[in-house]
Amino acid sequence: MKITCIGAGYVGGPTMAMIAGKCPGIDVTVVDINESRIAAWNDTDLSKLPVFEPGLDEIVGEARGRNLHFSTDVDSAIGEADMIFISVNTPTKTYGTGKGQAADLKWVERCARQIAELVERDIIIVEKSTVPIRTAAMIKSVLRAVGKEDKVKVLSNPEFLAEGTAVADLSNPDRVLIGGEDEESIEKLVSVYAQWVPREKILTTNLWSSELSKLTANAFLAQRVSSINSISALCEVTGADVGEVAKAIGTDSRIGPRFLQASVGFGGSCFQKDILNLTYLCDYFGLPEVAAYWKSVIELNDWQKRRFAEKIVHTLFNTVAEKKIGILGFAFKKDTNDTRESAAIYVCRDLLIEKAHLAIYDPRVSLQQIIRDLEYVGITDAQDLVKSGALSKVDSVDQAAADSHALAILTEWDEFKTLDYNAIFETMKKPAWLFDGRNIVDRKKASATGFDVYSIGKGESHGAEWEVR
């Protein structure tokens, strides 16, 4: 069998590497119009793969050139395939009808049209991208228009991997979901996954349930984070500890312990976009109450990010102008180089608007990426700020801390969990503040060193020297 995947991004790359690794009998080609991305996937230096995921380099290194290929020749790969995965981006629309809410399906439609034009034999199209419900109907219409509806079967197979744990999620998924109308094509896709996933974990549904389940899963996950973050604010004003509350409720098997980690706010390319898409669909189908319910998950998240930046400004005597603040972490979570919708972007934006000087340290994110992200959210002079020294990317926690008034932890990278509080404290201005947006700081230890600490949902704990306050 020959599989082609259109889109070599965070999903297409790892997913296809896993299929190639687990199914040596299947020849897998991943194609993309982005030449530099494909070049990076083909780089002999595996540390230069365009997607950083623990363990991915090993899998790619083993399968690449054997039964895993990366190419920019989209037409040929479509022409040769028995099964084509569409794994292209489906971001929130930035123009026209549905701007800021609906999913932009132009890349998916482009793929459907390209396949419709080129395909001459019986194939299966697999929707891997996250799409609004009834997208498969659009793909079928495109095929019908050129008389190829009978040749090509369409399946929905949403991806549930999380970044940073993609390899583990793909090799041992909670479930694989396949939606379709044609038993034979469903079975063909089932037989691919069944090479490493137990059959009872492979769920089959109708097309529309599968498409909607993906949006619903992300909405439920994001809702848990917003729910615990809402409680974090209540904890801070009442003396409760959000970690203890999360543990207490999470031990109820009906609630469960995961996704109850209070934070500076969820980020990532999908939670916000998929909930916005869900609310758009609800509005479109005349369900404004349902739309409003899910929208509040995003509103709470926006508030949580804003609240964190305001807390810093307020605490530093209502002004951060020209004060150096060390930012620890810019990625939207640990173990990824992805910054899409990262809470750090918004916190940094708000602090730069207040004229803070930021020194950002993230082990995986480049200065170019930070500038692009900040420009996108309105810091149009980000380049100038770099030139003037008001914005910098530094290479270590120590450099971020030196001469700073405060450190703000925005990503839970493991190295931030074992900070040398004494050494850092010595180099900072006093009072030295530690704002922990991920609740990974050892508050007792940091306070004993002299730090004033703010943690989400735990409030403030003051260092030895300023206990009198």
Scanning 18-26, 156-164, 205-213, 384-392 for contacts with ligand UGA by CB under 6 A, the matching segment is 156-164
**Residue nearest to ligand NAD according to CB distances in the complex:** 9
Pick one of 59, 74, 155, 358: the residue that binds ligand NAD (CB under 6 A): 74
In the stretch 156-175, what mask flags binding to ligand NAD with x, by CB under 6 A?
---x-x-x------------
Q: In what order do the strands lie in the sheet with 27-31?
A: 68-71, 27-31, 2-6, 83-86, 123-127, 152-156, 176-179, 202-205
Site mask for ligand NAD (CB under 6 A), range 363-382, x = bound: --------------------
The tokens describing 36, both together, are: 């530099």
- Indicate whether 259 belongs to the interface with ligand UGA (CB under 6 A): yes
Which residues in the 88-147 window bind ligand NAD by CB under 6 A? Answer: 88-90, 107, 110-111, 129-130
Whether the Cβ atoms of residue 49 and residue 41 lie closer than 8 Å to each other:
yes
Nearest-angstrom CA–CA distance, 222 and 235:
20
What is d(CA 15, CA 30) in angstroms, rounded to the nearest whole number?
10
User: What, of ligand UGA, ligand NAD, none, does residue 267 touch, CB below 5 to 8 Å by kind?
Assistant: ligand UGA
The listed partner (ligand UGA, ligand NAD, none) that binds 263, CB under 5 to 8 Å by sort, is ligand UGA
Which CB atom, from 53 or from 354, has the smaller least distance to ligand NAD? 53
Nearest distance, CB of residue 435 and ligand UGA, angstroms: 16
Joined tokens for residue 403:
């001469």
To ligand NAD, the closest distance from the beta carbon of 307 in angstroms equals: 26
| Nearest distance, CB of residue 122 and ligand UGA, angstroms | 30
Of the candidate residues 3, 5, 6, 133, the single one contacting ligand NAD (CB under 6 A): 6
Helices (H), 2-100: 12-22, 35-41, 56-63, 74-80
* Sheet strand arrangement including 406-409: 391-393, 357-361, 324-328, 406-409, 433-436, 452-455, 459-461
Which stretches within 69-206 are classed as H helix?
A: 74-80, 106-118, 135-145, 166-171, 183-193
Binding ligand UGA by CB under 6 A: which of 33, 40, 118, 162? 162
Q: Considering 5, 23, 270, 282, which one is annotated as catalytic?
A: 270
Q: Is 161 in the site for ligand UGA (CB under 6 A)?
A: yes
Half-sphere exposure of 38 (CA within 13 A, CB side): 17
**Lookup: tokens for 84:** 């084509």
Nearest distance in Å: CB 194, ligand UGA: 21
Q: How far is the CB of 116 from ligand NAD (least distance, A)?
A: 13
Among 67, 90, 210, 218, binds ligand UGA (CB under 6 A): 218
The answer to whether the CB of 242 falls within 8 A of the CB of 235 is yes
10 in contact with ligand NAD (CB under 6 A)? yes
Beta carbon nearer to ligand NAD, 16 or 309: 16
Q: By CB under 6 A, is residue 260 in contact with ligand UGA?
A: yes
- For ligand UGA, the closer CB: 392 or 411: 411
Whether the CB-CB separation of 10 and 41 falls below 8 Å is answered with no
Distance CA 121, CA 308 (A): 56
Catalytic annotation present for 270 = yes
Closest listed residue to residue 11, CA positions, set 135, 133, 162, 139? 162
Q: Tell me the closest approach of the beta carbon of residue 272 to ligand NAD, in angstroms.
A: 11
CA–CA separation, 101 and 94 (whole Å): 8
CA atoms within 13 A on the CB side of 422: 0
Asked whether position 339 contacts ligand NAD by CB under 6 A, the answer is no
- Please name which of 52, 46, 8, 88 lies closest in space to residue 333, comparing C-alpha atoms: 52
Under rule CB under 6 A, residue 225 binds ligand UGA: yes
Question: What is the spatial distance between Cα 391 and Cα 358, in angstroms, rounded to a whole number?
Answer: 5
87 lines the binding site for ligand NAD (CB under 6 A): yes
- Does position 217 interact with ligand NAD (CB under 6 A)? The reply is no
Which of 267, 329, 363, 457 is the binder for ligand UGA (CB under 6 A)? Answer: 267
Q: Quote the CA–CA distance of 43 and 425 in Å, as a whole number.
A: 41
Stretch that binds ligand NAD, among 33-41, 75-83, 197-205, 278-286 (CB under 6 A): 33-41
Of residues 332-371, which lie at the interface with ligand UGA (CB under 6 A)? 332-333
- Dihedral over Cα of 26, 32, 37, 38: its sign: positive
Q: How far apart are CA 440 and CA 457, in angstroms?
A: 12
User: Interaction with ligand NAD in 286-325: which residues (CB under 6 A)?
Assistant: none
Separation of CA 109 from chain center: 23
Binding-residue pattern over the window 244 to 273 for ligand NAD, x denoting contact by CB under 6 A: -------------------------xx---
- 342: contact with ligand NAD by CB under 6 A: no
Q: Active-site residues: which are they?
A: 270
Name the residues that contact ligand NAD, by CB under 6 A.
6-12, 31-34, 37, 74, 87-90, 107, 110-111, 129-130, 159, 161, 163, 269-270
Name the residues that contact ligand UGA, by CB under 6 A.
130, 159-163, 218, 221, 225, 259-261, 263, 266-271, 332-333
